Structure 1
Amino acid sequence: MKDVVSIRLDNEMDLILAHKRAMKLSELCGLITSLQTRFATAVSEIARCSIAYGKNSYVVLGINFLSGGKKELKAVIYDDVNLAECNPEAYAYAVRLSKSVSTELINGVYQIHLTLPVPYSGVITESRITSFIEYFQRETPLSPYDELRKKNIQLIELSEKLSESESNYKQLTDTIPMIVFSVSGSGVITLANKRLEQILGRNFTAFNAANLEKIFHIEESQAIIKGWEAVQKRKVQFTSQARLRVKESYVWYMVSIMPNTDDRGDISGYIISMFDINAQKIIEETLKDNRELKATQENLKASNKELSAKNRELEQFAYIASHDLQEPLRKIRNFTSLAERNLTQDDKEKLYFPKINAAAERMSRLIKDVLNYSRLTVETDMFVLVDLNEILNDVINDFEFLIKEKQAKIETENLPVIKGIPVQISQLFYNIIGNSLKFVNLQPSIKIASEIVDVSNKEVAGTYYKISISDNGIGIEQQHIDKLFIIFKRLHPQNVYEGTGIGLALCKKIVQNHGGFMEIESEPGRGTKVSAYLPLS
């Protein structure tokens, strides 16, 4: 169902509002007056039961899409109480009026569905439904009480978004395998993840010279102290390696200190991250001091390279978690604070609410993408036989409305059955096809093909399934192709093409998890071909 308008059901004023909006939506859908009245009255009868007997009640009015392009007007009343049992007479009357009433219990919440077919439903397009939504957003309030209540609901929703963003931000930083915290100008810790307390204890509440001498080895502590002082004076980033006291021993950590700036470029504090590089240091010392390991030096170098790559990835995570995610959170707090001042309700809504919503939505996308990337794991028992044709069909179904909207053409060949992780393979197709539908100025044309190829390259030699997805999109300059696989690297402004810049980085990691590699061929204005090489065995 495409939701158009939602109404809380708390008192008689809400009952009037529910009836009025059900009538108006029926009118907008082209129903005759008698059908408008029957549908609105049926909604009112159930709504009256919710107000009298229900708990946490609200009604959502919208348009339901049926097969064959048909549509129906739909109302769903949500309640923690079974209203059919509370007032059987009113429920039976609503059934006689609407003739299509059903009740479901989903996750402990009762849902009462009322539907009415829409004649000539072909004229109700996506754009018209959007205009319905805009109409109710601009609708004149029934009374000053309704206006005040509407504003209060908006403030509650914004508050809930802020709380959810803060909770997700805390969850994200707690999952990262490193110490991350922010400090004020004087060094007092203002925000930290769980690992800080686990490693350094509850008494570590300030980042200052006295505490740094306690937690770092005597040979490196002075360098960290001088680096911290330099960051405060010159406003530059500082990175160094040092041994950190962990219980009764010392462990090598990479320490990074960077200024945290606000929207105006002023420094509001500092972000400090520390991640464990002890394994890397042991490898370095082993290669340096032990001549007996020369035969295995190449393998150790490869391990060291992989560790270095992981370290860079963790450093990117630290910056995103501590800076990019805090930036929209800081905007939400600033705009909420400004909204508290002596402005009219109309000014608050016009000036700040859209900006607060945009910042909250951007943060939500960042958090979800970072969590998806950090959760990409590989375990032997996760691999099963996967029919790529079924995966592709599911992904195309997910994009059904966007494909229809853009009139996209998708041609597919028969794809093989491979051994893989179904969820990750689905993410792979979803991100690549999503890019082909997004980064295009013409009617999208996408071709998906498969072939078996032998690769003789020394590093990836073997036999592979080559799965290629070609499009007619905007294309990419050759010198920018390698940047596409860098996490959060964007080639276009946020206001031109939306997204977080993690899609192809996630695809690369998925293909590597399956023992393969990726290839991109592109030319500006002539489209892009993305190929995933997956091992034959």
Structure 2
Amino acid sequence: MKEIIKINLDNEMDLILAHKRCMKIAEMCGMPSSFQTRFSTAVSEIARCSIAKGKNSLLVLCINTIKPTQKQIEAIITDSVDLKSCSPEAFNYASKISGDIEYSFKGNQSTTRIIQPVASPGLLSETKIKSLIDYFKFEPPLSPYDEIRKKNIELIAISEKLTESENRYRKLANTIPILICEVNERNKVLLYNESLLHYLKVPPPTFERKNLINFIHPDDINVILDGWEKAKLTRSSFSGEVRIKDSALFVWHLVTMIPNKSEDGSFNSWLVYFININAQKMIVEALKDNSELKMIQRELESANSKLLFKNKELEQFAYVASHDLQEPLRKIMIMLSRAGEQLSDEQKKQFYFDRMTLSATRLSELITDVLNYSRIDNSKQIFEEVDLNEITSEILGDLSMIIDEKNAVITIEPLPRVLGLHTQLRQLFYNLVNNALKFNTTVPLVTISAEIVPDGNNELALSGNYHIISISDNGIGIENQYSNRIFNMFQRLHERDQYGGNGIGLALCRRIIENHNGFINFTSTPGKGTIFWIYLPKKQ
């Protein structure tokens, strides 16, 4: 039996779809018009009963090949209600016009089969049946309702694939005999697998000395902390050997820290693996001075090489997992966009399309901001001379629309040339000027100026060697209670419906300044304005 199409019977629109598709499949099988009508009407009678009185109703249209010379169309309607007892007159009428109806009710499920023999079975080849399946799979929608229904089916399928992918990789991560956790740049442990939970009982909330000392051997604590700092500083992998507490004993483990990279090579977290090498370590220690067993030692070295190879495989696994989990999300966003093109404003409200689209857009903006933050890396870039006057001229062009809209007055005094990265410094000034325009309830007045740090400045150890660039505004200002938080990730001081953004802009500014060996701070008076002070090294 070849399934051609499925239709959920929920409302009158589904009844119309069922009737039209029954007519179409009968027509494509070469049945006369009278038989098309009788078959479709019989199916519609039972479908109408199922919609009115049934529950969890489903119609499946199939082609059944009994033998090469005997083929038939079958309409199978299943329901969790005894339909025949609910509406015997509908079944009597369908039997009169069709003549071949089978009905059963077992295990709280009713099954109705309406059978229509194909007049010319020889013409209904396997190729023809396949073309029927393809036709209904790719046929244009019969109505806006049918279009929405198809899009919903596609979205459900994508969601199921995403769930399946997540479950598959979660099961893989939890079953391998390796202790795994994910740590972000602020030392917070984001995730860990069941092996780590089972081994440590209480996994550390942060990757810091006060928590690591609870299960890392005191003599090895600096090995792991120094390796962690090196990995964060160089954005590279690190491997070392440490002893982890197991009840009253300490067991040797190979610890590996790998940057958790995305498709474009950026990252903002690390995967940390602990692999039990206690047996190998004990054998090496016992045999290191035994010249007669050097061959076994070489074999152990080979085994260690294989462990390193496995670590590389785990890094590849992390990349594939990231790609596979992100791809379904991108497809969902594309399908939301396509589905929304066919909907009226009323339909969008009915199906919560505005909320879904807004949530998807916010998620996209958040991902973009986080990726921008994680890409700030100077390890492979060379500083060049950058004219800050050109930078400010470029950003005023970028912000021209909002400047005109708010009638903003921007005053720019002569600015110096500094050594740095043009793209990052452009992002820095863009964020700060954009904030000055955005967080303002009057006509914005923004001034950008520069001076040299005077000699004898006690706040900076290198007085006289820094440019001070100030960006002042007459905006809403910042409360003193937030002075220690505004440069942290995801710190929003206002509700989203008041001012947009994800709380990443100032964190990005601080990271850019630190990459340029500078400093940033601010002074502010609520209701009167804010001045951001940027300290950049002078050219030597």
> What's the TM-score once normalised by structure 1's chain length?
0.54
Matched, 1:159 2:159: yes
| Structure 2 CA distance for aligned equivalents of residues 238 and 100 of structure 1 | 71
The equivalent of 1:40 in structure 2 is 40
| Structure 2 CA distance for aligned equivalents of residues 319 and 58 of structure 1 | 46
| Structure 1 CA distance for aligned equivalents of residues 119 and 307 of structure 2 | 61
Mark the CA change 1:279 to 1:64 in structure 2 (over 3 Å): closer, same or farther. farther
Mark the CA change 1:98 to 1:270 in structure 2 (over 3 Å): closer, same or farther. farther
| Structure 2 CA distance for aligned equivalents of residues 183 and 70 of structure 1 | 65
The equivalent of 1:328 in structure 2 is 324
Contact 2:27 2:33 in 1 (8 A): yes
**CA displacement, residues 189-238 of structure 1 (integer Å, 9 cap, x when unaligned):** 33332222222344523334543444322333323223333333333333
The equivalent of 1:265 in structure 2 is 265
Q: How does 1:278-357 map onto structure 2 within 5 Å?
A: 278-288=278-288, 315=311, 318-319=314-315, 322-337=318-333, 344-345=340-341
| Structure 1 CA distance for aligned equivalents of residues 223 and 301 of structure 2 | 26
**CA displacement, residues 266-288 of structure 1 (integer Å, 9 cap, x when unaligned):** 22432222232333333434444
Contact 1:180 1:318 in 2 (8 A): no
Matched, 1:27 2:27: yes
Q: Report the CA distance between 1:305 and its aligned residue.
A: 9.5
| Structure 2 CA distance for aligned equivalents of residues 175 and 275 of structure 1 | 14
| Structure 2 CA distance for aligned equivalents of residues 192 and 142 of structure 1 | 49
SS at match of 1:325: helix
Contact 2:151 2:339 in 1 (8 A): no
Matched, 1:55 2:51: no
| Structure 2 CA distance for aligned equivalents of residues 211 and 9 of structure 1 | 57
Contact 2:262 2:319 in 1 (8 A): no
| Structure 2 CA distance for aligned equivalents of residues 314 and 12 of structure 1 | 58
Contact 1:273 1:318 in 2 (8 A): no
The equivalent of 2:227 in structure 1 is 227
The equivalent of 1:64 in structure 2 is 64
The equivalent of 1:6 in structure 2 is 6
SS at match of 2:264: coil
Q: Give the paired residue count.
A: 343
Question: What amino acid sits opposite 1:83 in the alignment?
Answer: L
Question: What amino acid sits opposite 1:10 in the alignment?
Answer: D
| Structure 1 CA distance for aligned equivalents of residues 62 and 25 of structure 2 | 8
Contact 2:49 2:90 in 1 (8 A): yes
The equivalent of 1:77 in structure 2 is 77
**CA displacement, residues 407-461 of structure 1 (integer Å, 9 cap, x when unaligned):** xxxxxxxxxxxxxxxxxxxxxxxxxxxxxxxxxxxxxxxxxxxxxxxxxxxxxxx
**CA displacement, residues 289-329 of structure 1 (integer Å, 9 cap, x when unaligned):** 789x969x97x998x69977995796577446533233111
| Structure 1 CA distance for aligned equivalents of residues 221 and 111 of structure 2 | 62
Contact 2:179 2:275 in 1 (8 A): yes
Mark the CA change 1:70 to 1:236 in structure 2 (over 3 Å): closer, same or farther. farther
Unaligned runs of 5+ in 2: 344-540
The equivalent of 1:423 in structure 2 is none
SS at match of 2:250: strand
Q: How does 1:82-97 map onto structure 2 within 5 Å?
A: 82-95=82-95, 97=98
| Structure 2 CA distance for aligned equivalents of residues 273 and 286 of structure 1 | 26
The equivalent of 1:473 in structure 2 is none
Larger radius of gyration: 2
Mark the CA change 1:335 to 1:281 in structure 2 (over 3 Å): closer, same or farther. same
Mark the CA change 1:342 to 1:54 in structure 2 (over 3 Å): closer, same or farther. closer
**CA displacement, residues 322-362 of structure 1 (integer Å, 9 cap, x when unaligned):** 33233111122234346556984469xxxxxxxxxxxxxxx
Mark the CA change 1:94 to 1:343 in structure 2 (over 3 Å): closer, same or farther. closer
Q: Report the CA distance between 1:17 and its aligned residue.
A: 0.7
Contact 2:27 2:36 in 1 (8 A): yes
Q: Report the CA distance between 1:63 and its aligned residue.
A: 2.9
SS at match of 2:259: strand
| Structure 2 CA distance for aligned equivalents of residues 101 and 217 of structure 1 | 74
> What's the TM-score once normalised by structure 2's chain length?
0.54
**CA displacement, residues 377-422 of structure 1 (integer Å, 9 cap, x when unaligned):** xxxxxxxxxxxxxxxxxxxxxxxxxxxxxxxxxxxxxxxxxxxxxx
Alignment RMSD, CA only? 3.9
Question: What amino acid sits opposite 1:325 in the alignment?
Answer: A
Question: What amino acid sits opposite 2:169 in the alignment?
Answer: Y
The equivalent of 2:184 in structure 1 is 184
SS at match of 1:243: strand
| Structure 1 CA distance for aligned equivalents of residues 70 and 183 of structure 2 | 58
Mark the CA change 1:262 to 1:202 in structure 2 (over 3 Å): closer, same or farther. same
Q: Report the CA distance between 1:57 and its aligned residue.
A: 1.9
Question: What amino acid sits opposite 1:222 in the alignment?
Answer: N
| Structure 2 CA distance for aligned equivalents of residues 334 and 15 of structure 1 | 34
Mark the CA change 1:228 to 1:76 in structure 2 (over 3 Å): closer, same or farther. farther
Mark the CA change 1:301 to 1:136 in structure 2 (over 3 Å): closer, same or farther. same
Q: Report the CA distance between 1:115 and its aligned residue.
A: 3.7
SS at match of 2:270: strand
Matched, 1:249 2:249: yes
Unaligned runs of 5+ in 1: 348-537
| Structure 1 CA distance for aligned equivalents of residues 306 and 64 of structure 2 | 47
| Structure 2 CA distance for aligned equivalents of residues 259 and 237 of structure 1 | 6
SS at match of 1:215: coil
**CA displacement, residues 119-144 of structure 1 (integer Å, 9 cap, x when unaligned):** 44454455544443343344344433
Mark the CA change 1:169 to 1:109 in structure 2 (over 3 Å): closer, same or farther. farther
Mark the CA change 1:14 to 1:221 in structure 2 (over 3 Å): closer, same or farther. same
**CA displacement, residues 2-55 of structure 1 (integer Å, 9 cap, x when unaligned):** 333221111111111111111111212222223322332232233223212322
The equivalent of 1:193 in structure 2 is 193
Q: How does 1:168-179 map onto structure 2 within 5 Å?
A: 168-179=168-179
Contact 2:262 2:322 in 1 (8 A): no
The equivalent of 1:471 in structure 2 is none
